[in-house]
Amino acid sequence: MSLAGKSAIITGSNSGIGLGIARELARAGANIVLNSFSDAPEDHALAASLADEFNVDARYIQADMSRGEDCRALIRKAGGCDVLVNNAGIQHVAPIERFPADMWDRIIAINLGSCFHTTAAALPGMRESGWGRVINISSAHGLTASPFKSAYVAAKHGVVGLTKTTALETAQEPITCNAICPGYVLTPLVEAQIPEQMKTHGLDRETVIREVMLERQPSREFATTEQIGETVVFLCSPAAQQITGTTISIDGGWTAL
């Protein structure tokens, strides 16, 4: 599958799943724009290293996905895109009555609002060029709930709804919109929680992963950032032209329970 000549913007892509997606899109030959809220030399160096590794054009553009205007400016500064991957996301865990209202607003803005703003800004260019892919990174929490994650679960369910509406509005054009719903993925953020969990539960690494962290993931294995990235590349392939408005779970059977 070659994406040579296509351009992709991946929000929240200086680490974790976003970076994994950017790597697989670059491996397939797409020119990529990395993004996060920071503007550090290492962000730009990361883009340069991907450009070298995969022989594509790679740039880093700073934009804060909690601000609608920044989301739209990201698309503008990139000069539009053929593939838009809405990946930026944050989490906060607390019971509803103690959930900080400003954290609720922030999660809804970054995890859901940004998808609306970037999609609105990117669609006109996709229509003009006659091809487009919008891929929203939702979650198993876009299809099921967990206690104490009210804002995250609400935002990720919202992303699934936005995905369906975007798909219907573009259904008769060569543009598709889908959501990927990962279960637990082994990102640096998740990796960093393992030693703490081992201490808390007095268990070894393998047991903590199997019995505590992956308790809801029947495969008892993490999904990988490469698997998410390769699924994004598949959604950009001709085989996926009629796949639109749906969700693809990569969750080891979580949502089958």
> Is 152 among the residues known to form the active site?
yes
Q: How far is CA 31 from CA 190, 192, 251, in A?
A: 28, 31, 28
Residue whose CB is less far from ligand NAD, 18 or 132: 18
**Choices 50-58, 94-102, 181-189, 204-212; region in contact with ligand NAD by CB under 6 A:** 181-189
Residue whose CB is less far from ligand NAD, 14 or 178: 14
How many Cα atoms sit within 13 Å of 210 on the Cβ side? Answer: 5
Joined together, the tokens standing for residue 159 give 């992303």
Contact 85/10 with Cβ under 8 angstroms? yes
Contact 179/248 with Cβ under 8 angstroms? yes
**Choices 24-32, 86-94, 171-179, 207-215; region in contact with ligand NAD by CB under 6 A:** 86-94
Q: Is residue 170 at the binding interface for ligand NAD, with CB under 6 A as the rule?
A: no
Site string for ligand NAD, 120-159 (x = CB under 6 A): -----------------x-x--------------------
Q: Is residue 163 at the binding interface for ligand NAD, with CB under 6 A as the rule?
A: no
- Of 54, 116, 152, 254, which one is the catalytic site residue? 152
Task: Quote the CA–CA distance of 74 and 63 in Å, as a whole number.
Answer: 6
DSSP track, 69-91? HHHHHHHHHHT--SEEEE-----
Contact 138/152 with Cβ under 8 angstroms? no
> Minimal distance in Å, beta carbon 139 to ligand NAD?
4
Joined together, the tokens standing for residue 131 give 């091809």
Q: Is residue 177 at the binding interface for ligand NAD, with CB under 6 A as the rule?
A: no
Site string for ligand NAD, 56-85 (x = CB under 6 A): --------xxx-------------------
Contact 151/139 with Cβ under 8 angstroms? no
Residues that bind ligand NAD (CB under 6 A): 12-18, 36-37, 64-66, 87-90, 110-111, 137, 139, 182, 184-185, 187, 189-190
Q: Which residues are catalytic?
A: 152
